[in-house]
Amino acid sequence: MPGIALLGTQWGDEGKGKVTHLMADAMDMVVRYQGGNNAGHTVIVGTETFKLHLLPAGILYPHITPVLAPGVVVDPSVLLEEIDALALRGISAEKLRISGNAHLIMPYHRELDRLTERRLGKMKLGTTRRGIGPAYADKASRIGIRIQDLLDRKIFTEKLDVALREKNLLLTKIYGRLPMNADAILQEYLGYADRLEPHITDTVAEVHTALDAGKNVLFEGAQGMLLDLDHGTYPFVTSSNCVAGGVCTGAGVGPRMIDRIIGVTKAYTTRVGEGPFPTEDLGPDGDLLVERGAEFGATTGRKRRCGWFDAVIVRYAARVSSLTEIFLTKIDVLSAFDRIKVCVGYEHEGKIYETFPPHQTIFHKAVPIYKEFEGWRTDISGARSWADLPKAAQTYVESLEQMVGVPITQISVGAEATETVTRLAPVTPRSAQA
């Protein structure tokens, strides 16, 4: 049962698309288990670049079964657009499996996401405005509409009616907007149903069948640890669980089915949207990171906020998700710096924090304590083995590893799949060591 989880350990955008691509050859199934089209996974295959938002990266490979599990929220218009765009490039989505239990993003979710952000003004979260939060909120309130409801016109009509009665009150009375028309939504969504029906299935059963048969199943995370609803920098988070535990609830597998947990970690830190970010650099170093790292969101095109590596948050991610290994990305971006800073702890009102602070206010006001490393000031994109890396880069990697307490097995030195250094063999999971 080789179940492998792959997840971001910072605020998302760590380069999970590249890692999925690298692992794809050995995989049989790739499962998205949380989030929706707020994600943006850039995958470069040969000379082609693909930007996927909702579909699992596994869709690009004919031998892989791509799966959207129950924990995902699905905007069917986006899903079909992505499928059609891939078809134009000769990639078939025929094998795509979609859980009937996944929730639908409805037009009122998108509208309410936008309106709520506008109402919050200065207090806004900086969401992707894709309706993610409102869709998960309806799921928790038990007035969500699921993929399987598309297959039963009567049920879909009833559920839409219940939801829309509340949403139209909100839209008209609170936000002063026009109400939404149930018939128009019904027609639009039942149109999607015809196309989606062949893909709708019991994905939990299919994932277990694959695991039981010894197939390699990759659980592809979206966003990152600090955007986790329960463990991230709430309220500046997304509305799903990005930690390894999210694999269990989102895909319907128990913890024992996950063999390896790979944390994808950027060699510095970025964040999109609002919220605290202790190591953010608002000076020329931050600008250089944006420029060299091409730090613009794949989903919204927003410029990412950039700063130094924060060992406290990655250590926290390693703990909460029981990481077995780390894939370190974009270290080549740091080649331009004479000195490289790493945050090893925070100071707040005379107290030092080496672990993630228990109170939000402390994290908001935390002053990073930096350790400085010598830069290597040379192009390392041609490095393919550990020995090819300059001593200063090796020291940087070894120091991060020590600070985080998890082996760094692979290091990415460029966007292409080949631009990767394999440092250590994949870690044998504890379950297999016994």
Active site residues: 13, 41
125 binds ligand IMP (CB under 6 A): yes
Question: What's the angle, vertex CA 292, arms to CA 289 and CA 297, rounded to 5?
Answer: 75
Q: Looking only at residues 351 through 370 of this chain, which bind ligand IMP when binding is defined by CB under 6 A?
A: none
127 binds ligand IMP (CB under 6 A): yes
42 binds ligand IMP (CB under 6 A): no
Phi, psi (degrees; rounded to nearest 5) at 209:
-60, -45
223 binds ligand IMP (CB under 6 A): yes
**Residue with smaller CB distance to ligand IMP, 223 or 279:** 223
222 binds ligand IMP (CB under 6 A): yes
Of 57, 106, 247, 272, the residue at the interface with ligand IMP (CB under 6 A) is 272
CB of 41 to ligand IMP, least distance (A): 8
Token look-up 């509409």 returns 145
Pairing of strands 217-220, 3-8: parallel
Residues 6 or more apart whose CB falls under 8 angstroms from that of 96 comprise 55, 59, 66, 67, 68, 83, 199
128 binds ligand IMP (CB under 6 A): yes
Distance between CA atoms of residues 131 and 36, nearest Å: 9
Q: Which stretch binds ligand IMP (CB under 6 A): 26-34, 127-135, 306-314, 396-404?
A: 127-135
**Residue with smaller CB distance to ligand IMP, 132 or 427:** 132
CA 113, chain centre distance (Å): 19
CB 32 within 8 A of CB 67: yes
CB of 234 to ligand IMP, least distance (A): 11
65 binds ligand IMP (CB under 6 A): no
CA-nearest of 157, 128, 127, 133 to 145 is: 157
Of 3, 58, 107, 133, the residue at the interface with ligand IMP (CB under 6 A) is 133
246 binds ligand IMP (CB under 6 A): no
Neighbours of 162 (CB within 10 A): 12
Neighbours of 186 (CB within 10 A): 16
- Residues belonging to the chain: 434
**Residue with smaller CB distance to ligand IMP, 111 or 259:** 111
Of 7, 164, 227, 328, the residue at the interface with ligand IMP (CB under 6 A) is 227
| Structural tokens at position 289 | 């990171």
Q: How far is CA 258 from CA 69, 111, 181, 244, 247, in A?
A: 16, 37, 44, 9, 9
**Residue with smaller CB distance to ligand IMP, 37 or 216:** 37
9 binds ligand IMP (CB under 6 A): no
3 binds ligand IMP (CB under 6 A): no
Residues contacting ligand IMP: total by CB under 6 A = 21
4 binds ligand IMP (CB under 6 A): no
Residues 6 or more apart whose CB falls under 8 angstroms from that of 158 comprise none
Contact residues toward ligand IMP (CB under 6 A) are 11-13, 38-40, 125-128, 130, 132-133, 222-223, 227, 236, 238-239, 272-273
